[in-house]
Chains A and B, each alone.
Chain A
Amino acid sequence: MVCDVCKTNQATVFLTQIIEGKMQKVNLCESCSKEKGVTDPLSFALVDLLPGLGAAQEVEKGDPAQRCPACGFTQTDFKKTGRLGCAVCYETFAEGLEGLLKAMHRRTAHSGKIPARLKRSIELGARMNQLKRDLDKAVSEENYETAAQLRDQLRELEQTK
């Protein structure tokens, strides 16, 4: 059996880990296992290896030759390393990443800390989106009085932007 990481040497270390009931297996050669810290289990988890191996295949949607306009990174590079090239890659490969993120985190929207300088505009954006949805709903239900109120609120927010 060949090592999953370097794909050249004979694998001598076989790892199995059960994550959410799914069995994950990784086979490594002596030197890759050392490099990945497998010999020191205190700082090792199979989950760290997976994105670089099997999991990366889930991003195969879309054109494999597609390049990130900001940094020149391709899907092939991602498959090789399990790491992205730059912040813009998240937009470039958004379609393929969506499924991967869902598999990793179950959810796909951040709900934690926001840098203070962005906080206002992000929260404003979120509120406006909500108002727009409510407005559409009110219009489709022919609830014009509510719709007019919502429209005014939106205008007000638009101005504080």
Chain B
Amino acid sequence: MVKRTAPRRSARSAPKAHEHGRRRCLRILRALSAFIDDELSDDVCMEVRRHLGDCPNCEDFVASLRQTVSLCRHQPTPTLSSADRARMRETILQTAGGR
């Protein structure tokens, strides 16, 4: 009798690849920005970490989302020339004073 129950239990606990299914991935994907920004409570953060360790798809996804945020933070922008700065100031003051 003991022999009959043991194999069943081990068959149930052996996970197939990606057996946790897409539903958990979706739950994790919804929380990834908050995860990146360190805004999750400790227990939810642990849940996300555990899932990422277990799911290469989501781990890759969060890596690319982090890169996206990082690129946005570092994207350079043009600067204003001192001539433009002075010309725009004149225009603003003339428009403000002329009405």
* Chains A and B form a bound pair: no
The interface of chain A, by Cβ under 8 A from chain B, is: none
The interface of chain B, by Cβ under 8 A from chain A, is: none
